[in-house]
Structures are given as structure tokens and as C-alpha cells.
Structure 1
Amino acid sequence: MDVPLYDSLDGQVALVTGATRGIGKAIADGLVARDATVYAGARDPDDITASDRRAVELDVTDDGGIAAAIETIDAEAGRLDVLVNNAGVMDSREPLDSMPTEVVDRTLDTNLRGPMLVTKHALPLLLDRPGGRVVNVSSGLGAITEPQSGGTPAYRVSKTGVNGLTRYLDGEYESEGLLANSVCPGYVRTDMTGPSASRSPEKGAETPVWLSRFRPDAPGGRFWRDKSPASW
């Protein structure tokens, strides 16, 4: 799809949650390659070893810690142009009638409440200038246009909720210049999926990085896969 893109993100600031490994690290790598100043969110900042990005302590289940991370970015960089809500966990894959309640709570807390709270605290900076971007890493498993069977209920519902968050942000803040989009990275080899997955983290990161390059007149409020619109 032909959309207006920044060739370079020089002078722009991005925050990627869950940036220590897998898709999150690959997204951070891609944004660094486009010359963005990248804050790599991690529960333990010592896990961020690359010198071309700034480690920031960020546990998406800790509201106070989220606020502190955004305050750090504001104090150091004075702006935030891109937020990539990537941090997530997989549930224990049983059907709902077998899944322990603590697994449901942990999954929703990380995958849905987390992006909502990070976005909540980041919005003042993202709305400082037209074209702030929120990229929510979702999944085709959360699509409501097809049956959601095959277990993983907490994960599926959390990603359906992430898509709802994207639609809300577009409806509420699009008039203030915010671009919010969801993305399915595909079946990517990560700690959550294992080595049998068909895609590399770098392939999974391609569309999130592309969405992070959207100019202010690019489309928002959509669900994407492989740089093309996907069904909700």
C-alpha cells in the first residue's frame, strides 16, 4: 500500500516496550537503522546491551514505573514521536475452562492493561506535535472476523482488546494528530512461540517499523499485516 513515509527518523524519539529480545529488539534495531533516538524498555535495563539505544526501566504492569519511564524520556529528550507497544506474554494455551485464573490475570495485565497504561502516560508527549504514532503489536489470533478456537483464550482476548484500544485511540485523538495502528507480525520465532515458527524476528519487525515511519497524513485506526490492511 502506498502511504507517505519518513525516509529518516533523525531527530525523532521512539519508545519500544519489551525491547530486550525477539520482535521488540528487532523493532528497536529497525528504528535505530532509520536514525531515531530509541528508548528500549526493559524490566531490567541491564538486559539492553547495545550502545546505539537508551535503556529505560519499564515494567508494563507497574503504573508508577511507567510514569517514571515517560518522565525520563521527557527530561532527557523532551519529545516522543513513536510508541511501539510490543511487550507481551503468552498464556498457558488451555481452553478457558482449564486455564488457571492467575494465568488469565497475568496475560491480560501484561498484554492489554499494559499498553493502555503506557499509552495513557505517553499521550501528552505524543500529542505535542501532529503525527505522533502509536503502533500496537497485536495478532491475527485476536481477530473477531473469524472463529477464535484452539485454546489460548486469554492471549486471544487480550489481542482483541489491543485492537479495540487502537480503534479507541483513533476515534478519540485522530483529530489531535495521533496516528494509532495495530499490526500482526505473523508467526515469529520468539521465546513465546519456539523454533518452529516460520518467520524471523526481523521479518516480524518489518511492518511495525514501517508503521513507525508514517507521516502525519498517513492512515490510522487500521489493522495491518505485511504492510497491507488486514481484517479486524
Structure 2
Amino acid sequence: MANAPPTVDLKADLADDVALVTGATRGIGAEIAAELVELGATVYAGARDPDDVTAPDQHAVRLDVTEADDARAAVERIERERGSLDVLVNNAGVFPRSGPLHEMEIGEFDRAMAVNLRGPVLVTKHAIPLLLDEPGGRVVTLSSGLGRFTEGQMGGRYPAYRLSKVGVGGLTAYLDAEYGDRGLIANAVSPGWVRTDMGGEGAPRSPSKGAETPVWLARFAPGSPAGRLWKDRERISW
């Protein structure tokens, strides 16, 4: 059940902000990157192949989130070129369409955990020092309704994906507890079922609708709510 959102102060624009978006070449990630640019942010678009980033107003950066060296190098480049990082959007993800656990190939689990959980941990680890330079650094991590573990919602196939997104909730809660008093604003977001390569053509939501709440979270001003899961700009239970 959704809870009425608390009053949130939003930044009017992101003209002074630098953002890093992982998995920014297509789908929700591409839409988030484009909308952050429209708000005035300097956007680094993370991609396994930087040539896949074609937007002229974005800075392509090599970033396979499963590679520690890529994560380190991406953040070091941003620090060298801009000297700051204000927003990290952990968007890159995979969705193994496996059956129940006893039918799942363990390789599907390993891949989902590597991209969907270890990836955000790696990138956030290297980004934290820059994000903490000024109060109000934001981490927005893409989660899913399939990773909500209350109210009997965990059943129904896809164990690798579900469990990786449960981990995203733990990461978000940890970041808030560990760094919230230093000004970090870490939240997770369920974008809903979106028409992307991952979601399929039958999904009811457009990429722009899926990007709406992540972009909203990226605008949170210092002191805003953190450590929570959101959907359609409302807080929902884990």
C-alpha cells in the first residue's frame, strides 16, 4: 500500500549539478539521462561501449558496472574533469526470466546479482567521496515491484531478479543509515512495468513514465526523505 508522500523540497533545476547514469544507452536509463540534461545537469552517460552514447549533450563514459576498474575510472574521470558529483543513478540491470528456484540456472542468479546488486555497490562505493563533498548528494537506485518482500508479494517466478532487487533495498537502507547524517540522500525506485528491451513490448508504461520518479528523486534538495522505496512519487513498502 502506498503512503502519502511527505513534503519534499525540490531543486528548481540542476544547472550546477553533475550526474552519472549507468546503463544510459537505452530504455529508462536513456530517458533519465536526457531529462537530467533538460534540467541543466552535466550528464555522464555510462555504457559498456561508449560509442553507443549518441546524444551530443551527454558525456559518454565507459562503464560496465560489473568491472571494478570501470567504476573507479569513471568516477576518477568525473572528478578530474568536473571536480564534483551530485547525482548517481544506478539504472543498469538485467532480468533473467527464469522459473521457480528449483528450475533456475545458477548462472542466471550470478549474472543478476553481479549487475543488479554488485554493480550499484561498486559504482556507489567509488562515488561516495565525491557525493559527500557537499550536503545533498543523491543516489537513486532502480528497484522493482518484484523485489518487494512484504504482503506476500515475492512468489511468482524470477527468483534471481527478485532477490537482486531485495538487495537493492538493503543497499539503500544501509546508505541512509551510514551516510544520511553526512547529507547523502539515497533512495530506491520502482519504475513500474515499462516498454523496454527488459520489459517487453506488452508493458503498459513508456520509458518517459518509467523515468518520471527517478528524475524527481534526483531533484531532491538537502534534507529530503531518504532510505525509502518510491513509485509514482509516493513511498511504498519494501
Same fold (TM over 0.5): yes
**How many percent of aligned residue pairs carry the same amino acid?**
62
Provide the rounded CA distance (Å) in 1 between the counterparts of 2:217 and 2:113: 24
Between the aligned partners of 2:156 and 2:98, the Cα distance in structure 1 is 8
Paired AA for residue 206 in structure 2: S
Distance of 2:186 and 2:221 partners within structure 1:
12
Residue 3 of structure 1 is matched in structure 2 by 8
Q: Partner of 1:133 in structure 2? A: 138
Aligned residue type for 1:24: G
TM-score by structure 2 length?
Answer: 0.96
Of 146, 156, 163 in structure 2, the residue corresponding to residue 157 of structure 1 is 163
* Aligned twin of 1:210: 216
- Aligned partners of 1:119, 1:139: CA distance in 2, in Å? 19
Q: Which letter maps to 1:120?
A: K
Q: TM-score by structure 1 length?
A: 0.99
1:47 to 49, 52, 70: 52
Residue number among 178, 182, 188 corresponding to 1:176 in the alignment:
182
Deviation at 1:92, TM superposition (A): 2.7
Aligned residue number for residue 96 of structure 1: 101
Write the mapping of 1:50-199 to structure 2, written as runs, cut at 5 A: 50-147=55-152, 148-199=154-205
2:232 aligned with 1:226, yes or no?
yes
Secondary structure of residue in 1 paired with 2:85: coil
- 1:220 CA displacement: 0.7
Please say if residues 18 and 88 of structure 1, whose CA atoms lie closer than 8 Å, have aligned partners that are also in contact: yes
Q: For residues 118-160 of structure 1, what are the alpha-carbon distances to aligned partners after superposition, in whole Å with 9 as ceiling and x for unaligned?
A: 0000000000000000001100110111321111001000001
| Amino acid in structure 2 at the alignment position of 1:55 | A
Q: Residue 30 of structure 1: CA displacement?
A: 1.0
Question: Match of 1:35?
Answer: 40
Partner letter of residue 147 of structure 2?
A: G
Alignment counterpart, residue 207 of structure 2, candidates 189, 201, 204: 201
Residue aligned with 1:189, SS: coil
Please list the CA deviations of residues 197-218 of structure 1 after superposition, one character each: whole Å capped at 9, or x if unmatched. 0000000000000000000021
Cα deviation, 1:19-67, whole Å, max 9, x if unaligned, reads 0000000100110110000000000000000101100000000001110
On the 8 A contact 1:66/1:118 being kept in 2, the answer is yes
Q: Distance in 2 between matches of 1:193 and 1:10?
A: 32
Report the residue type matching 1:183 in the other structure. V
The 2-side partners of 1:102 and 1:23 are apart by: 25
Structure 2 segments unaligned to the other structure (5+ residues): none
For 2:143, the aligned partner's letter is: S
Provide structure 1 residue ranges, at least 5 long, that are not aligned to the other structure: none
2:189 maps to a residue whose letter is V
CA distance in 2, matches of 1:103, 1:127: 35
Q: Which runs of 4+ in 1 moved over 2 A?
A: none
